[in-house]
Chain A
Amino acid sequence: MTIKPVLLWSDALILLLLLTVAALVWLARKNDTFRAPWRQVMASRMGSATALILAVYAGIGLLDSMHYVERLPSAPGQQAQYSGEVFSALDALLKPLRVNVEKTYSAPLATHLYAKETVQGPDGVERRDYPPLKHPGSHLLGTDKVGQDVLYLSLKSIRTGLLIGTLTTLIMLPFALALGIAAGYFGGRIDDAIQYLYTTLNSIPGVLLIAAAVLVVQVQIEAHAELFDTAAARSDVRLLALCAILGVTGWTGLARLLRAEALKLRELEFVQAARAFGVTDARILLRHLLPNVMHLVLITVVIDFSGLVLAEAVLSYVGVGVDPGMISFGNMINGARLELAREPVVWWQLAAAFVFMFVLVLAANLFADQVRDALDPKSRGRK
């Protein structure tokens, strides 16, 4: 079958993120002051174990970010037609899980559906019974309301969670770095203006600001539906918009931290010495301030990551998260929570979302602890 690769906006940003990280690693490869903390993280059992877990998640997310569309069978000579459905490398790998759909709920590894239906027995008599599954025993974690494999859904949710955790940071960083350091280093009116900006943003309740912005984006997407040729492209843009909103509203915390640090650094002797040489402000910011706040940035990034993964679930519940059609932990929980009222309980969908999310966030939190211990001399001995 012929396929055509598709680069969604989020894929492009992931690529950009990977290239940036690779470039940074390459630049710092011989620099011991940068490498030593990471070596310390990886040398600890906790650090290497959590890094491994995160790497597995990241691998799944990356596989899920290589998108393509399939060519529809068409008459020869006709222009190639492609399906409107976008798949990823992960979908290709998990094809059995994806296509083996049941009618509705089924418990993990069950052979029959969850609910009784009127079935026709071999003798032709109709009775109420649990109909057999089309693919009995093949659903390790059961199936959901429309019969999709829960394991497949869980694995697909990973990319969404990771994207929110990383792209938001990517969008937030330039704001936080530029505004935070500028406020601290220049002081005066620039400081006043930036402080005003972040106090104003901070004063608005977070969820409400995000909700307001997402509602606006939603209306705009609906108003310009013609711009998106596939459903995937539409939910992708909505996801990016969510990241952008989270980023634009979320830079204040780091900016405040960086402002305080820049305020301290600008009085330090090495900055004074540079000024005594008449070194330009731009160069001082780039050579003296930026490298000396990078540890704070890294610590914040890893700590924020887990918070953002958790935030996705809550926002999706409120109705201002990712597109309802997109597979995500939030949407999985949302779809499953009402089923707890049923008898017997449909627990597997919630349990799967819980475990997959818990492992990711716990690994991220523990990894963040290790990174902070390695990078922040002040936190040493706190554990």
Chain B
Amino acid sequence: MLNYILRRLLYAIPILLGVNLLTFALFFMVNTPDDMARIHLGAKHVTPEAITRWKVEHGYDKPLFLNSAAAGVEKATDTLFVEKSLKLFVLDFGAADDGRDIAREIGQRMWPSLAIALPTFLVGLLAYLSFALLLVFFRGTALDTGGVILCVALMSISGLFYVIGGQYLMGKLWHWFPISGYQPGLDAWKFMVMPVLVSLIGGIGDSSRFYRALFIEEIGKDYVRTARAKGLSDLRVLFKHVLGNAMIPILTGVVVVIPRLFMGSLIIESFFGIPGLGSYTIDAIQAQDFAIVRSMVFLGSLLYIVGLVLTDISYTWADPRVRLE
């Protein structure tokens, strides 16, 4: 097991290196630091001096891969690639364009993100699975048909409408919750309920239908027939046998996202004004702050790989056939 995790983490290094090279190529080679300076300075102030000054201020004045001006090892280390890209490996994210430390921002902003994402994830998983099980239990009846049609209809609506509709109804019309904003501490729940609720409703169509399809596929298998031939009740067959086996494909999709819960949801956080990592990212995209975008890309990849390892570990729990070696 330990051996396996070790190997997986070793395997993560080339992947992260690949992510690093890709983002570096996008942000420094296709787009040169000069381009970046030009955008940030605005059309009016573009002079060669201003560009150079901006680059020096933000640390973009070094060569990409090889600094021939430097001496010794610094030839290779005192470069943009090492400074801006490789340092991400030690979680040194550097400063944003506005000069603030990205790592500190991440440390602060992940908590509000988590406060929204974690309940959404847990309640969602429970609700979607229950709904899917309900449909499957009544499979072939009008309830099932209606439920599936509802799911398809719900998943045909853009997520933006759920947010807009939720804010309008629950916030503006009914005055249940504040439309947006966030407050740390005990009062946070007031601001959390609506984003969580909206995310839950937005996801129910897609997820429930997917889980239902998984369950129906399992129900067609031979071992289910065996279980029924033993005289077990439908409920027991469904919960003990079908659910137990369906856990394997369910976990594949579910566990991998857990580490990324920290990063929050772009749309939800931005609409509801949650000061989390999602809105941080979206602001950075809109402000074209590449330092933050790069950091978030790296962080996202890192968490994804952690998620993959967690997924594999969770298999050992759900599937006795899996031994990690």
Do A and B touch, yes or no (CB under 8 Å, in the complex)? yes
A13: B residues at CB distance < 8 A: none
Say how far A216's CB is from chain B's closest CB, in angstroms.
5
User: Scoring A residues 176 to 215 as 1 if CB is less than 8 Å from chain B, else 0, what string do you get?
Assistant: 0000000000000000000011011011110111011101
Beyond A200-B18, A203-B16, 7 additional pairs, beta carbon < 8 A: A200-B301, A203-B301, A208-B293, A215-B290, A215-B293, A345-B168, A381-B220
Binding site for A on B (CB under 8 A): 14-16, 18-19, 22-23, 26-27, 30-31, 35-36, 38-39, 148, 152-153, 155-161, 164, 167-168, 172, 213, 216-217, 220, 260, 263, 266-267, 270, 281-282, 285-286, 288, 290, 293-294, 296-297, 300-301, 304-305
Of residues 322 through 344 on chain A, the ones whose CB sits less than 8 Å from some CB of chain B are 329, 333, 337, 340-341
The closest CB in chain B to the CB of A207 belongs to B266
Picked from B22, B285, B305, the residue with its CB within 8 Å of the CB of A318 is: B285
Within 8 Å of chain B (Cβ to Cβ): is A361? yes
Say how far B74's CB is from chain A's closest CB, in angstroms.
29
Say how far A245's CB is from chain B's closest CB, in angstroms.
11
Contact B266 A341 (CB under 8 A): no
The closest CB in chain B to the CB of A357 belongs to B158
Say how far B127's CB is from chain A's closest CB, in angstroms.
21
Picked from B30, B157, B160, B281, the residue with its CB within 8 Å of the CB of A317 is: B160
Contact A313 B19 (CB under 8 A): no
User: Scoring A residues 232 to 267 as 1 if CB is less than 8 Å from chain B, else 0, what string do you get?
Assistant: 000000000000000000000000000000000000
A216 and B263 CA atoms in complex are apart in Å by: 23
A306 and B159 CA atoms in complex are apart in Å by: 13
B31: A residues at CB distance < 8 A: 215-216, 219-220
Interface of A is mostly: helix
Say how far A328's CB is from chain B's closest CB, in angstroms.
12
Stretch touching chain B among A27-35, A112-120, A362-370: A362-370
Within 8 Å of chain B (Cβ to Cβ): is A382? yes
A45: B residues at CB distance < 8 A: none
Binding site for B on A (CB under 8 A): 196-197, 199-200, 202-205, 207-209, 211-213, 215-216, 219-220, 222-223, 306, 310, 313-314, 317-320, 329, 333, 337, 340-341, 345, 350, 354, 357-358, 361-362, 364-366, 369, 378-379, 381-383
A314 and B286 CA atoms in complex are apart in Å by: 14
Given known A-B contacts A212-B297, A354-B157, A366-B152, A199 and B15 have beta carbons under 8 A apart: yes
User: How many A-B contacts at CB < 8 Å in the complex?
Assistant: 130
B27: A residues at CB distance < 8 A: 212, 216
A306 and B112 CA atoms in complex are apart in Å by: 32
Contact A333 B160 (CB under 8 A): yes
B19: A residues at CB distance < 8 A: 200, 203-204
A381 and B140 CA atoms in complex are apart in Å by: 10
A350 and B160 CA atoms in complex are apart in Å by: 10
Contact B14 A196 (CB under 8 A): yes
Say how far B31's CB is from chain A's closest CB, in angstroms.
5
Contact A358 B157 (CB under 8 A): yes
A361 and B152 CA atoms in complex are apart in Å by: 10
B301: A residues at CB distance < 8 A: 200, 203-205
Say how far B280's CB is from chain A's closest CB, in angstroms.
12
Contact B168 A208 (CB under 8 A): no
23 pairs, CB–CB < 8 Å, chain A vs chain B = A200-B22, A200-B301, A204-B22, A204-B23, A207-B266, A211-B293, A212-B293, A215-B288, A215-B290, A216-B26, A219-B31, A223-B38, A306-B156, A310-B158, A317-B267, A318-B266, A318-B286, A329-B158, A340-B172, A341-B172, A357-B158, A361-B156, A365-B152
Q: Point out which of B152, B157, B160 has the most chain A C-beta atoms below 10 A from its C-beta.
A: B160
Contact B282 A318 (CB under 8 A): yes
B293: A residues at CB distance < 8 A: 208, 211-212, 215
B263: A residues at CB distance < 8 A: 205
A209 and B27 CA atoms in complex are apart in Å by: 12
Contact B15 A212 (CB under 8 A): no
A223: B residues at CB distance < 8 A: 35, 38
Say how far B10's CB is from chain A's closest CB, in angstroms.
13
A350 and B164 CA atoms in complex are apart in Å by: 9
A30 and B266 CA atoms in complex are apart in Å by: 49
A364: B residues at CB distance < 8 A: 156
Say how far A28's CB is from chain B's closest CB, in angstroms.
28
A39 and B267 CA atoms in complex are apart in Å by: 41
Given known A-B contacts A317-B267, A319-B286, A341-B172, A205 and B161 have beta carbons under 8 A apart: no
